[in-house]
Structure 1
Amino acid sequence: MSAAQTPAAAITTHGLTEFYARLAEYYGPQCWWPNLDDNNPRFEILVGAVLTQHTAWANVERAIGTLLGAGPLTAETLLAHEDLAELIRRAGPHRVKAERLKGLCRWFINAGGFGGIEAMSTAKLCSDLRAIRGIGPETADVIALYAADRPRFIADAYAFRIFERLGWWQGNTRRYETLREQVEAAAPEHWRAAEYDEIHALVVRHAIALCHKRHPDCANCPLAERCAQIGVTDT
């Protein structure tokens, strides 16, 4: 039976808490975001959030390593690089991403850096980020969560895959904001950025390790007892 034929179950606080607990017990602490630059770790998150669009993280690390070899990782330095696109070539469509990075850097400077960001509400921060060309809701939320310590659920493709199989999402259209809002509405009141950080990291880890797009390893899944396995045809 496909996800489109199966009514979605409501995401409850109990269900979400158990989901988190089972993955945390199975995989242990994830301790994201991975940083290469100890001098400017928060700004590196902004850069990584753009570079990771439609490419593997290993490619992002190579690109950031090249950037670090060309100078300090700051907005001013990135804007000064005449060969920025070449420096990030390892991270996929480098010319497009270079323009997105420049737009993000200009916004960052005009916003007053992290001091200005910290004075913004979460809604304004995410709205301003999404107004930058090439920054969609997922990238904006990643920056808000990891660089600005704001509680946001990252409703990425991995989350949709797992939630569809659990029965928490149905239909062919994946609406980012709808899933994010549903999860945040069901989240325990005590959850802060640290919990959203960890659940996102656990979702990514689980999707890569076991809950594959094709041929998921359901036999070893810590969620197997609670998973409806909707849409799973080959394990």
Structure 2
Amino acid sequence: MQIKETYKKLLDHFGFQNWWPVHTGTDRFLEVSIGAVLTQNTNWKNVEKAIENLIKDDVLSWDKLESIDLEKLKELIKPAGFYNQKAVYIKNFVKAVKGLPKERITRGLLLSIKGIGEETADSILLYGLDRHYFVVDAYTKRIFYRLGITKTENISYKKLQKIIQQNIPKDINIYKEFHALLVELGKNYCRKKPLCKECPLNNSCKKNLK
């Protein structure tokens, strides 16, 4: 199956995802960035609880995240799990990025911050800054391998990102929607134990057709 065809089929099945969700009145870039850190190794419902705690305590701002006591921050983001690490990662991010003009926030800068890897950096760049970096995650690797587009599920992040970016239009909305649609497919059908019979891609998936 071609990559463009995969996108169209998923869009027909799931519809537009309009990802990344943010709350009214918050700094979009900041909320996306904090969410990208919090979503590491957890599900989005837990992230939402943590972000809601930050909003309720009125600390979802650059100045307040910089000044908040570390132990208090850990308590607020506890629903997202791994809160000891993530609180430090958030502090690291705010310290490195606060006050910088958006054009100076590069992928290299983000990757230099402890706690921010490729997936987190590209989530921040794509959804927070509208930059053309397709986000690759475990779902993406699993789906593209099962479809027969890649030869291994252990393909490198950079290699799979390049393959995808070379095969879809350089349209920021398509980048966002396609990634969000792959996440939906991975959560609902293409799980570790896949639900192939119900999957919208089952007629063209090499794993299902074996």
TM-score by length of 1: 0.83
Give the match's secondary structure for 2:151. coil
Displacement, 1:207?
A: 0.9
Per the alignment, residue 86 of structure 1 pairs with: 75
Structure 2: stretches of 5+ with no match in the other structure? none
Structure 2 length-normalised TM: 0.93
Q: Does the CA-based 8 Å contact 2:29-2:124 persist in structure 1?
A: no
1:98 aligns with 2:76: no
In the TM superposition, what is the alpha-carbon distance from 1:36 to its structure 2 partner?
2.8
Q: What residue is the counterpart of 2:155 in the other structure?
A: 174
Shift of 1:56: 1.1
Higher RCO structure (Cα 8 Å, ≥6 apart): 1
Percent sequence identity over aligned pairs: 36
The RMSD of aligned alpha carbons is 1.8
1:56-94: CA deviation from partner (whole Å, max 9, x where unpaired): 111111111111111141121111111111111111111
> Does 1:59 find its partner at 2:37?
no
Q: Which structure has the larger Rg over C-alpha atoms?
A: 1
Q: What SS does the corresponding residue of 1:147 show, helix, strand or coil?
A: helix
Count residues in correspondence. Answer: 208
Say if 1:30 and 1:101 are closer, same or farther in 2 by CA, change over 3 A: same
- Cα gap change, 1:97/1:157 in structure 2, threshold over 3 Å: closer, same or farther? same
Consecutive unaligned residues in structure 1, runs of 5 or more? 1-13
Change in 2 beyond 3 A, CA 1:144/1:169: same
Matched, 1:206 2:185: yes
Deviates more, 1:43-52 or 1:79-88: 79-88
User: 2:165, 2:200 → 1: CA distance?
Assistant: 23
**What's the secondary structure of 2:42's corresponding residue?**
coil
Structure 2 residue aligned with 1:139, among 107, 113, 120?
120
Residue in 2 that maps onto 1:7: none
Matched, 1:24 2:11: yes
Partner of 1:11: none
